[in-house]
Amino acid sequence: MKSKPAYLTLLLALLHGVAGITILVISSWFIAISAIAPVGFNYVIPAVVIRALALLRIASGYASMWVGHNDLLARIAGVRLRVFRQLENSKITDKAFTTEALAQHTEELASRWIAWIAPLSNITFIFTNLCVVAVWFNLPSTSFLITLFAIWLVAVVVQGLGALNIAKRVTTENKAFRQQSADFLNCSAIWHLNKAMNNMPKEEGRHVINSVPSADRVWRQQTTQKDKALRASWWFQGAAFFAVVLVMSGAVSPISDFSYMPIAIVVPMILMAAPDWAGAAFHSITKFAQHKQSAKALKNLKTSPIKLLERTELHHSLTLSGYTAKNRRLPLVSATFPATGIVCISGPSGCGKSSLLQSIAGVLPSTGIKEVDGMRIPDGLITNWRYVEQEPIVLSGSVSSNLDPAGMGIPLDDMTNLLAQLGLEALLPLSMWVGKAGRTLSGGERKRLALARAILSHAKVLLVDEPFEGLDVTTQHKVCEVLNRYAANHLILVASHVTPSALNVSSTLLLEEARMDNLCAGQHAIRLP
C-alpha cells in the first residue's frame, strides 16, 4: 500500500493547525498594537497576512479532509485484503467474530491517520513549537505556557491509559453481545418455548420477547469512554483559564512595564484558546485505544486451517480402507468405488453418512486410507471434488452469483438450462436477488441451487448429501435425471434415506450404526456388495 497520501494528510493537517495558531498569535498582537499604534502604523500588512493565513487554513483543512478520506478508502481496501489473506484457506472458529465485527475492526485500523495520528502529532507539534518560540523570544508568561504543556501531556497520557482499559472492556462486552445475539437468533424457531414468555404481557395480541440480548453494557462502556474524554478536556479548559487568570491578575509574576507591551497579550490568548486547538487530543487518544484493541482482536483472530489439495482426477477407482471421519465414533469403511456412476450410501440416521462424504471431500479430517487410482491421497480439501451439503449455504446475492461465486465465467445459458432441468424456473431470471443468505428460498430450492452450483463447476466427484429430502415426487424425478446424466462421466456418491426408482444406482454402500460394543471389540469394515 502506498503511504504517500497519509503523510500528505498529516502535512496538510499540520498546515491547517499552524495557520490557525499563527492567525491567533498575529491577530491578538494586532488588536493590542492597534490600540496604541503611532500615527503612520501600517495596518494593511498584518491584515493581509491574517487574511492570507485564513485562506490557507480553509484550503488546507478541506485538502486534508479530501486527501485523508481518499487515503482512508484505500487503506480500508488494503486492510480488508490483509484480513482476507489471513482467512485464506482457514475458517473462523470464533462465533462472535461476525462480518460486522470484522468490518468494525478493519475500519478502526484503516482510519488511524485521520482518527488519531494526524490530530495528535499536529497538536504535539504546535504545543512544542509554541513553547520553543516563547522561550526563544522570551515572551511574557512563557512559564505558564510550559506548565500548561506539561499538564496537557500528563492528562493525555493518563486519559490514554484509562481509555485503553475501557476499550478493552468495550471489546469484551461487544464480543459477548455478538455471541449472545448469534445464539439468540439461531434459536428463533423455539422462542415460543421460552417459559418467561407465558407470563409476559401481550402487545397487540403478540407476546413481546424480553430475553433479547441487550447492548446496554456495550453502550454504557462507550458512553463512559466519551464522558471521560469530555471530562479531561473540561479539566484542561479549567487549567488553561486558571492560568490566564493568574497571568492577568499578576498573582504569580508581578505586572511589569513589559506586561503592557502588545506582545504580552500573545501567551494569554494562546492559553485562553488552548482548549480549542489542543482539547481534541483527549478524543483522539480514545481512538488510539480503540485502534489498539482492534489490531489485537484481528491479530488474535482464531481460525482453523483448511488444507487445499491440487485437482485430483479420477480415472479408475476410489478406494477407502479402514476409513472414517477423525474423532467421531463411527464405523470404519473399506470399499472401492468406480470412476463413474452413482453409488448410494444408506443407513440409519446418525450412522455417519454425512461424515463419510465430508471426509472423502476433505472437509473433515479422516483416519484410514483414501486412494485414487492407486495413489494415496492425504487429508485436505480436494479442489475439484464437491460436497453438496444437507443444508447448503446460499450467498446474499443474485442467482447467477450463487451459481458462479468464484467468477469462473460459467456461461449464463448453462446456468439457465440446468436450473430449468432441476425444476427451478422460479429462480429465473439469473439476475434475481435471492435475499439475505437466500432466506426467501425454500429448503428444496436451496438444495437444488447448491446441486446446480456443484455441477456447473464441473466437479470430478460429486458427494451429495440428502438431495431428495423435502422434494415432491415430480421434482425428485427431475433431480434423478440430472444426476443420471452427470454420472455418465463422473462419480456421484449420494447419501440418502430415500432412493427414487428413477435414480440409476450402480451400487449401494450400507453403513451400519456405530455401536460402542462394536467399536470396542474392533471396528468393523463394510464392503460394497
Ligand X SMILES: Nc1ncnc2c1ncn2[C@@H]1O[C@H](COP(=O)(O)OP(=O)(O)OP(=O)(O)O)[C@@H](O)[C@H]1O
Q: Where are the alpha helices (DSSP H) in 259-391?
A: 266-278, 281-299, 353-361
Sheet with 375-376: list strands edge to edge: 375-376, 366-372, 317-325, 332-338, 525-526
**Cβ at position 324, least distance to ligand X in Å:** 10
**Cβ at position 199, least distance to ligand X in Å:** 36
How many Å separate Cα 416 from the centre of its chain? 34
Report yes or no: 416 and 456 within 8 Å, Cβ to Cβ. Answer: no
Question: Residue 70: which H helix or E strand, with range?
Answer: helix 44-87
Is the CB of 58 or the CB of 187 nearer to ligand X?
187
Residue among 78, 69, 67, 61 nearest 13 (CA): 61
DSSP calls for 188-247: GGGGGG-HHHHTSPEETTEEPP------HHHHHHHHHHHHHHHHHHHHHHHHHHHHHHHH
Is the CB of 355 or the CB of 416 nearer to ligand X?
355
**Cβ at position 366, least distance to ligand X in Å:** 12
Between CA 334 and CA 355 the distance in angstroms is 15
**Cβ at position 513, least distance to ligand X in Å:** 9
**Cβ at position 9, least distance to ligand X in Å:** 48
Question: Residue 410: which H helix or E strand, with range?
Answer: none
**Cβ at position 448, least distance to ligand X in Å:** 18
Total binding residues for ligand X by CB under 6 A? 10
In single-letter form, the type of residue at position 469 comes to E
Is the CB of 114 or the CB of 356 nearer to ligand X?
356
Which residues 480-519 are close enough to bind ligand X by CB under 6 A? 495
**Cβ at position 95, least distance to ligand X in Å:** 14
Is the CB of 95 or the CB of 231 nearer to ligand X?
95
**Cβ at position 444, least distance to ligand X in Å:** 16
Is the CB of 114 or the CB of 344 nearer to ligand X?
344
Site string for ligand X, 448-487 (x = CB under 6 A): ----------------------------------------
Between CA 407 and CA 174 the distance in angstroms is 35
Which residues 392-421 are close enough to bind ligand X by CB under 6 A? none
Contacts of 200 (CB under 8 A, 6+ apart): 207, 208, 210
Contacts of 396 (CB under 8 A, 6+ apart): 434, 435, 436, 437, 438
Is the CB of 72 or the CB of 514 nearer to ligand X?
514
Is the CB of 24 or the CB of 330 nearer to ligand X?
330
**Cβ at position 501, least distance to ligand X in Å:** 21
Is the CB of 106 or the CB of 354 nearer to ligand X?
354
* 3 state SS of 494: strand
Q: Where are the alpha helices (DSSP H) in 409-523?
A: 412-421, 443-456, 473-487, 516-520
C-alpha cell at 20: 490557525
**Cβ at position 380, least distance to ligand X in Å:** 19
Which residues 328-357 are close enough to bind ligand X by CB under 6 A? 328, 330, 349-355
Site string for ligand X, 303-332 (x = CB under 6 A): -------------------------x-x--
Is the CB of 262 or the CB of 368 nearer to ligand X?
368
Per-residue exposure over 262-271, b if at least 16 CB sit within 10 Å of its own CB, e if not: bbbbbbbbbb
Question: Residue 142: which H helix or E strand, with range?
Answer: helix 142-186
Is the CB of 171 or the CB of 354 nearer to ligand X?
354
**Cβ at position 344, least distance to ligand X in Å:** 13
C-alpha cell at 224: 463512559
Kindly tell me the burial class for residue 337, based on how many C-beta atoms sit within 10 Å of its own C-beta (0-12, 13-18, 19 or more): buried
**Cβ at position 503, least distance to ligand X in Å:** 17
Report yes or no: 295 and 168 within 8 Å, Cβ to Cβ. Answer: no
**Cβ at position 445, least distance to ligand X in Å:** 20
Between CA 282 and CA 394 the distance in angstroms is 45
Is the CB of 352 or the CB of 467 nearer to ligand X?
352
526 binds ligand X (CB under 6 A): no
Is the CB of 33 or the CB of 510 nearer to ligand X?
510
Which residues 1-40 are close enough to bind ligand X by CB under 6 A? none
Is the CB of 147 or the CB of 390 nearer to ligand X?
390
C-alpha cell at 477: 424425478
CA quadruple 173, 174, 175, 178: dihedral sign: positive
Kindly tell me the burial class for residue 509, based on how many C-beta atoms sit within 10 Å of its own C-beta (0-12, 13-18, 19 or more): buried
Between CA 285 and CA 512 the distance in angstroms is 63
User: Applying CB under 6 A, which residues contact ligand X?
Assistant: 328, 330, 349-355, 495
